[in-house]
Amino acid sequence: QVQLVESGGRLVQAGGSLRLSCAASGRTFNSYAMGWFRQAPGKEREFVAAISWGGGNTSSADSLKGRFTISRDNAKNTVYLQMNSLKPEDTAVYYCAAPITSPTDYVPEGEYDYDYWGQGTQVTVSS
């Protein structure tokens, strides 16, 4: 079992930055990939970014490249999402997630590739 707790979401003005954190517990953190997803009101949950268990491989949604960056600190059992140049359309609940198994360099992008989910943290970007 893996427990995931997101934090860092808040109200921010357009053009601003936020760093979300996701603290993991319950299993050896450096043994599985991690991902971030988001869900805006009335929309389906969408992939944001993923990182391999060692941190050497990352993937992000094409529309977010250049603005959002995923990273992890295995010593702190935490994965981060740095979000810059925020736009009102980035408003959503942001979730972190982990799969049960993670081969080396695995960076899953599909929602159904993940087995454990946090409760989410709200990010609101005002115009």
- Per-residue pLDDT averaged across 102-119, rounded? 91
Structure confidence by residue, pLDDT tens digits, 59-91: 999 999 899 999 999 999 999 999 999 999 999
Structure confidence by residue, pLDDT tens digits, 16-28: 999 999 999 987 7
Q: Where are the alpha helices (DSSP H) in 24-105?
A: none
Q: 92-98 and 116-117: which strand pairing?
A: antiparallel
Q: 78-83 and 18-25: which strand pairing?
A: antiparallel
Percent of the chain with pLDDT over 90: 82
Of the pLDDT bands very low, low, confident and very high (cuts 50, 70, 90), residue 101 is confident
The whole-angstrom separation of Cα 15 and Cα 22 is 23
